[in-house]
């Protein structure tokens, strides 16, 4: 289960990304409710997703062909 934590380190790479309105509003609401910044929440969401990442069968096949 995902739990929002306070950031441990500062981010130093700037990147522009686009959100659809519903996702932006939901993230903004959660960040406000949890007392954290929008950016810190997005970083935590990304880290959580990467921790649960599993390669798709197609991705595994492509990697084998590139070796």
Neighbours of 41 (CB within 10 A): 19
The full length of the chain comes to 67
Answer whether 0.75 is exceeded by the pTM.
no
Tens of pLDDT, residues 16-64: 999 999 999 999 999 999 999 999 999 999 999 998 888 887 765 666 5
pLDDT-based confidence at residue 8 (cuts at 50, 70, 90)? low
Give the domain ranges of the chain: 21-66
Give the whole-angstrom CA distance, residue 59 versus residue 49. 17
Give the whole-angstrom CA distance, residue 22 versus residue 53. 24
Q: Please say if the pLDDT value at position 5 is more than 80.
A: no
pLDDT-based confidence at residue 2 (cuts at 50, 70, 90)? confident
């Amino acid at each position: 289960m995902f739990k929002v934590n306070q950031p441990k380190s500062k981010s130093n790479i700037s990147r522009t990304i686009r959100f659809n309105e519903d996702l932006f509003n939901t993230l903004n609401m959660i960040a406000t409710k949890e007392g954290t910044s929008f950016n810190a929440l997005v970083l935590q969401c990304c880290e959580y997703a990467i921790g649960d990442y599993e390669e798709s069968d197609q991705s595994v096949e492509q990697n084998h062909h590139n070796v």
